[in-house]
Chain A
Amino acid sequence: MTHRIGADIGGTFTDLVMVDDGGAGFFVEKVLTTPTAPDAAVVKGVDALLTRNEVAAESVAHLVHGTTLFTNALIERKGAKTALVTTRGFRDAVEIAREHRFDMYDLWMERPTPIAPRHLRFEVKERILADGTVHEPLDETSVEALVPILREMGVEAVAVCLIHAYRNDHHERRVGEILRAGLPGIALSLSCEVNPEIREYDRASTTLCNVYVKGIAEAYLGRLENGLQKRELTGALYVMQSQGGVCDVATASDYPVRLIESGPAAGALAAAAYGNLIGAKDLLSFDMGGTTAKACLILDGEPLIAPEFEADRKYRFKKGSGLPVKVPVIEMIEIGAGGGSLVRLDAMGRLQVGPESAGAEPGPASYGRGGEKPTVTDADLVLGYLDPNFFLGGTMTLDREAARAAIGRTVATPLKLDVVEAAHGIHRLVNENMASAARIHAVERGADSSRLPLFAFGGAGPVHAYGVARILGAPQIVFPLGAGVMSAAGLLSAPLSFDFVRTMPAGLESMDWDAVNGALEKMEDDGRRVLARSIDPSEIRFRRSADARYRRQGHELRVAVPDGPLGPEHAGAIQRAFEEIYRSIYGQTPQDVALDVISWRVMASGPEPRLALPSGKPQQGDVAAAIKGQREVFLPEAETLAAVPVYDRYKLGTGAQFDGPAIVEERESTVVIAGPASARVDAHANLLVEF
């Protein structure tokens, strides 16, 4: 019997899930996160899991790890003292950025400060042109001259990003050799390795982010590996990447920028894995926690992947306000509305929720820790959706009167509403905002959000899912058991994988196919090299794609590309595949416009692990036995408070059926069914609610 462990480090808790390959065991462990040395909590949690469930360390085939440590280092600017080396004349590209304001009306708008300040941005004499030809040879003395300066300034990390290095990397690699020889022990990243894609600002930004956290990644992952080995865990340690695959420690240490969005990615993977289990290949995952709500579109069993994201957004939810990072990530939309989000009235007396949050201190008014402003949690409490005595499984008591008073003061009195109406206004606004964001996300992808089941998790997800589903017109909501450890579970469904990209802009009609084949083969060789460290080469699969666009259009779409050597005879298939995707998104294709391929991509991956869920216990006897009481909750359709049954989730077995309205409580969350619906428990202990 072999086991696999998923370990996800969150802000408060480190969640661990262990499964055995037979699909019989699904063990959960929660330990407090240890912020100064996060690896300690992982090791401690693993210890507890093994001891408590009497599993031998050597039976653990591998441990998959997800962490936001590198994201935090970037946001808090706690990385290395980092310098940039670039082509003469271009040291300000990372500061000139896109020359635009992402907020039209905010005169105080700020952009994120570049990772390398101007006095740590250096230039070397060389120039390569867009077609890869050398315009000015590399003057090596200009590189050598930097060595003593970098040393003297105490620089710990260097990003090298030369103009057009995605096309011709010779100069960049030579600069790397000279710096590495002159500055042994320094962290170094080359743009041609981290992100060989056109656009110097984006590429430099990605390379800088990578090298900035590289030292932290190496030290941390080394410590974790050590700690596990001391416990005689000899199975492989894998690390979750942002695109939904895992990689080994060596790869993670070289490319930590690829791990930055891995936390939310694991939750989306769990949604996809659960969806596959219950036969829902298309769904919308909805994860709502304390400060934000996230949605991810899953089509045909896979989350959508975006080619880039932004790190360290100055304004968390504002596109364009962060540092561009060009690595593949699971695409999510995020809005600033979680349980702790603050409620206020704007200049027109309209309700507004978030993105400011009450945080853990002082927290919502109902926490009784001095918070005076109402939050979403306070509204949910007033509506009866939360039980003041069973918050977080009863570990915390909420003050309903404090919540009523705060909502009264801030919302109900100025708007001349009663407190329950005001609370429902808040609850509904959050649902509206989430539904609108999800609908735009779906429209942009050519999907119809009214046909997709909702997969709800996170602390507040199950409280709001009913309202969101009603607005979207979703046919079904899936509430997995253990909504609080979804990310850890998702880690266990991620295959080993790594992505490669090569920018070679050219028209499809005049493609240099030899060059394309060379690039694809090189990327596949690299993939084989990276993955063969962990798995048998015969198990490696490659998935090719191309980023193509109509000539002069701005947005590239990703199309699948056939295996094997390519030639002019494949152009038609690529064109047709592109048109099909284009039509599915935009309805129709323009006539007679040529197609350009900007970049070619290869994803190398290992076999997909199956996330086996244990079968739930069958329902014993009458469902009524699971009812632990009644409570008054607000029913929006009836516009009134009414007593509804409260079910104990742990007493509902497979096959249990009941009708809404109803409340179902579990330790980390509460499922709210605020109106008519039919609910049943499936074979894997998921609660399915249908309208």
Chain B
Amino acid sequence: MALDQLKLEVLWNRLIATVNEQAAALMRTSFTSIVREAGDLSAGVFDRRGRMIAQAVTGTPGHINSMATSMGHVLRRYPVDSLAEGDVIITNDPWMTAGQLNDITIFTPVFRAGRCVAFFANCCHALDIGGRGLSADSLEVFEEGLQIPILKLYEAGRPNETLYALLKANVRATDEVMGDLHSQVVGNEVGARQLLSFMDEFGLDDIEDVADSIVARSESAMRERIAALPDGTYPFTMACDGFDEPITLAAKVIIRGDALTVDYGGTSGAIDRGINVTLNYTAAYTTYGIKCAISPDIPNNEGSFRPVTVTAPEGSILNCRHPSPVGGRHLVGHFLPSVVFGALEDILPQRVMAASADALWDTQVYGDRDDGSRFAYVWFAAGGAGAIRGRDGLSATAFPAGIAGVQSEMIEALVPIVVGERELVTDSGGPGRWRGGLGQKFTIGVRGDRPFLFSGLYDRMDHPAHGINGGAAGAVGHLATKSGKDVRAKTRVVLPPGEEVTLTLPGGGGYGPATERPVETVAADVLDGYVSAERARTFYGVALDPSGLSVDEVETARLRNAMTSTKD
């Protein structure tokens, strides 16, 4: 027994190394920038019963347990004993996997001595999946692209030519999409090879015992964390801009002993725009928020997911029914960790973060080059993140998405866009003992004398990121043009040559009362232009002398005194 314990650790480490190798192979060969640079993928290994036992550490909360549940759907369609060596299975069903058609999951059974012993799976964001292209404009999922039910991409080592032909005929960037699909298949093979070689090394016929131990130990660690929280029901409601009217995200975190449920009863209904979220994706971002708050060190696997249940009323925007459109589901799903943190604020004030800008700002520009050829460019930018006890919010940093932005010189080298300025927005971080992260300002135009099409999927233009524990909200975002023409987010507009659009991204919420922020820290913020002298006075109660360089101690004491006493 004693050595078994240490052996288990070695095996567990090897399994994690295996999925990391699988992910590394995938990222390095991908043709899609958001896969390889932003790590918008997931990779994992499952036992023959379909339990996920290890997942690579990659940058996408949206895949955290959506991949784990997807395996069950696959095994219902193809029972394990019906599979043959060389089979590869594919699907992009948003209700079974990662919530939008662009996310394609590939499953590969691994055989040893003729018996299926494990599965490797990975999920990657495809550059294109046909339909309208990634947008929130569709009325139904049918418009959003090709739906791939659970099918075999390879049958006993032979590619399914019919399916390949169908895929090729339905996507725009054929080379990149088919190239990525190839990378996904290869990634699983790399993982499978490593798994088999270490099963040889340790003389294992299967990994069921290892899986049992991993699942059991992770589950009990997770239950211990939950049991340490006080039983009760903790509600929280947050609104975001939505399309035509605001969306209410209502949550109740229910803790009973060593089990935790998040119930989204009271949340707005699904709408006829592509920002609806499937329950899988809702569960992914909810689990992510919980993990950040209570169990960042417990690995993702079947065991760590078991004690957490996520429910939402069917037909709500967090559990939409087929064929609701889902292409822009991140525009709603990304708010969920902040909702979870809000609900946990009362019982875990030390461990949760104020709200962040949350949803990434997704900008799309289409136009013509001087030589008449067309160009399209899509990129994401991040506003400010929330503050947490002990640390200011990170400025211009994505949360909860793990995506990386793109540098201005790269944008300009690829397409005729000119970035006029890109800087942090003074006063956009929510005031607090710890200040929220600043948003950024981004001005873009297009070279040449032709009109261009602009579309921005932006949120928090009406509903700011709230602060917690007495911290104030961050600034809302806005959109402006050089000509003064009114451009709205979430619509497509054609703009004339020479027009420039300025995006001002929202800031993150603050933590704790601003009047408790040390005076010298506020003064340093003013020196660096993160906070204006005026806001230092009105929000933080810090008065600077006219030069702006030194603190007026007497006036500051008076201001802070007045601010704290009026609050009482």
B420 touches A89 (CB 8 A): yes
Assembly CA distance A100 to B38 (angstroms): 8
B405 touches A96 (CB 8 A): yes
Partner of B413, one of A198, A202, A585: A198
A199 touches B418 (CB 8 A): no
B408 touches A553 (CB 8 A): no
Please provide the 10 A-B residue pairs with the shortest distance between their CB atoms, ordered closest to farther. A89-B421, A99-B405, A105-B296, A100-B404, A436-B17, A118-B528, A130-B412, A425-B6, A554-B36, A92-B423
B397 touches A101 (CB 8 A): yes
* Interface locus among B174-182, B249-257, B271-279: B174-182
Given contacts A347-B297, A428-B6, A440-B17, contact A593 B407 (CB under 8 A): no
B391 touches A428 (CB 8 A): no
B408 touches A200 (CB 8 A): yes
B21 part of interface (Cβ distance < 8 Å) = yes
A349 touches B217 (CB 8 A): yes
Given contacts A89-B420, A89-B443, A198-B410, contact A100 B292 (CB under 8 A): no
B501 part of interface (Cβ distance < 8 Å) = no
Interface residues of B in 372-425 (CB under 8 A from A): 381-382, 388, 390-391, 394-399, 402-405, 407-410, 412-413, 418-424
A650 part of interface (Cβ distance < 8 Å) = no
Residue of A98, A99, A417, A444 contacting most chain B CB atoms (<10 Å):
A99
B286 part of interface (Cβ distance < 8 Å) = no
Chain B residues positioned under 8 Å from A421 (CB to CB): 2-3, 6
B397 touches A99 (CB 8 A): yes
13 contacts between A and B (CB under 8 A): A89-B419, A89-B421, A91-B423, A100-B59, A118-B528, A164-B412, A198-B409, A347-B297, A554-B36, A554-B37, A586-B25, A586-B28, A590-B179
- Nearest residue, chain A, Cβ from B423: A92
Partner of B399, one of A101, A111, A199, A350: A101
Chain A residues positioned under 8 Å from B59 (CB to CB): 100, 104
A200 touches B407 (CB 8 A): yes
Chain B residues positioned under 8 Å from A107 (CB to CB): 292-293, 296, 351-353, 388
A52 part of interface (Cβ distance < 8 Å) = no
A429 touches B9 (CB 8 A): yes
A100 touches B403 (CB 8 A): yes
B148 part of interface (Cβ distance < 8 Å) = no
Minimal beta-carbon separation of B413 from chain A (angstroms)? 4
A109 part of interface (Cβ distance < 8 Å) = yes
B20 part of interface (Cβ distance < 8 Å) = yes
- Nearest residue, chain B, Cβ from A639: B3
Assembly CA distance A105 to B404 (angstroms): 16
Chain B residues positioned under 8 Å from A586 (CB to CB): 25, 28-29, 186
B291 part of interface (Cβ distance < 8 Å) = yes
A418 part of interface (Cβ distance < 8 Å) = yes
Chain B residues positioned under 8 Å from A348 (CB to CB): 217-218, 221, 298-299
Given contacts A89-B420, A201-B407, contact A590 B397 (CB under 8 A): no
Assembly CA distance A135 to B218 (angstroms): 58
- Nearest residue, chain A, Cβ from B6: A425
A592 part of interface (Cβ distance < 8 Å) = yes
B30 part of interface (Cβ distance < 8 Å) = yes
Minimal beta-carbon separation of B357 from chain A (angstroms)? 11
Q: A118-B529, A555-B28 are in contact. List 15 more A-B contacts (CB 8 A).
A: A89-B419, A95-B395, A105-B291, A119-B529, A129-B418, A135-B418, A164-B409, A417-B2, A421-B6, A428-B10, A440-B17, A440-B24, A443-B24, A443-B190, A590-B31
A346 part of interface (Cβ distance < 8 Å) = yes
- Nearest residue, chain B, Cβ from A109: B394
Assembly CA distance A202 to B21 (angstroms): 27
A119 touches B528 (CB 8 A): yes
Minimal beta-carbon separation of B448 from chain A (angstroms)? 12
Assembly CA distance A351 to B175 (angstroms): 45
- Nearest residue, chain A, Cβ from B38: A100
Assembly CA distance A118 to B426 (angstroms): 12
A399 part of interface (Cβ distance < 8 Å) = no
Partner of A350, one of B12, B419, B420, B443: B12
A90 part of interface (Cβ distance < 8 Å) = yes
Chain B residues positioned under 8 Å from A135 (CB to CB): 418
Partner of B395, one of A96, A350, A425, A592: A96
Assembly CA distance A363 to B155 (angstroms): 58
Chain A residues positioned under 8 Å from B409 (CB to CB): 130, 163-164, 198-200
- Nearest residue, chain A, Cβ from B29: A586
A641 part of interface (Cβ distance < 8 Å) = no
Chain A residues positioned under 8 Å from B24 (CB to CB): 440, 443-444
Assembly CA distance A590 to B178 (angstroms): 9
Q: Mark B12-54, 1 if CB is under 8 A from A, else 0.
A: 1110010011001100111111001110000000000000000
A92 touches B2 (CB 8 A): no
A100 touches B402 (CB 8 A): yes
Assembly CA distance A349 to B213 (angstroms): 12
B424 touches A95 (CB 8 A): yes
B61 part of interface (Cβ distance < 8 Å) = yes
A96 touches B424 (CB 8 A): yes
A68 part of interface (Cβ distance < 8 Å) = no
B440 part of interface (Cβ distance < 8 Å) = yes
A99 touches B175 (CB 8 A): no
A106 part of interface (Cβ distance < 8 Å) = yes
A432 touches B14 (CB 8 A): yes
Chain A residues positioned under 8 Å from B530 (CB to CB): 118
A505 part of interface (Cβ distance < 8 Å) = yes
Chain B residues positioned under 8 Å from A639 (CB to CB): 3
Minimal beta-carbon separation of A317 from chain B (angstroms)? 13
Partner of A552, one of B21, B31, B217, B424: B31
Chain A residues positioned under 8 Å from B292 (CB to CB): 105, 107
A347 touches B298 (CB 8 A): yes
Residue of A135, A424, A425 contacting most chain B CB atoms (<10 Å):
A425
- Nearest residue, chain B, Cβ from A415: B5
Chain B residues positioned under 8 Å from A100 (CB to CB): 38, 59, 382, 397-398, 402-405
Chain B residues positioned under 8 Å from A230 (CB to CB): none
Given contacts A104-B402, A432-B10, A436-B13, contact A90 B422 (CB under 8 A): yes
B57 part of interface (Cβ distance < 8 Å) = yes
Assembly CA distance A111 to B385 (angstroms): 13
Assembly CA distance A199 to B408 (angstroms): 7
A533 part of interface (Cβ distance < 8 Å) = no
B175 touches A590 (CB 8 A): yes
Minimal beta-carbon separation of B228 from chain A (angstroms)? 11
Minimal beta-carbon separation of B65 from chain A (angstroms)? 14
B527 part of interface (Cβ distance < 8 Å) = yes
Chain B residues positioned under 8 Å from A129 (CB to CB): 412, 418, 447
Q: Mark B172-210, 1 if CB is under 8 A from A, else 0.
A: 000110010010001000100000000000000000000
Chain A residues positioned under 8 Å from B394 (CB to CB): 101, 109, 111
Interface residues of A in 456-477 (CB under 8 A from B): none
Q: Mark B550-567, 1 if CB is under 8 A from A, else 0.
A: 000000000000000000
A593 touches B175 (CB 8 A): yes
Partner of B9, one of A93, A118, A425, A592: A425
Minimal beta-carbon separation of B359 from chain A (angstroms)? 14
Minimal beta-carbon separation of B179 from chain A (angstroms)? 5
Chain A residues positioned under 8 Å from B186 (CB to CB): 586-587
Minimal beta-carbon separation of B211 from chain A (angstroms)? 14
Partner of A92, one of B353, B407, B440: B440
B28 touches A444 (CB 8 A): yes
- Nearest residue, chain B, Cβ from A591: B175
A88 part of interface (Cβ distance < 8 Å) = yes
Chain A residues positioned under 8 Å from B419 (CB to CB): 89
Given contacts A100-B38, A130-B412, A590-B179, contact A108 B391 (CB under 8 A): yes
Assembly CA distance A91 to B408 (angstroms): 12
B9 touches A350 (CB 8 A): yes
A443 touches B25 (CB 8 A): yes
Chain A residues positioned under 8 Å from B447 (CB to CB): 129
Given contacts A416-B2, A505-B413, contact A439 B17 (CB under 8 A): yes
Given contacts A91-B423, A432-B14, contact A99 B6 (CB under 8 A): no
Interface residues of A in 65-108 (CB under 8 A from B): 88-93, 95-96, 98-101, 104-108
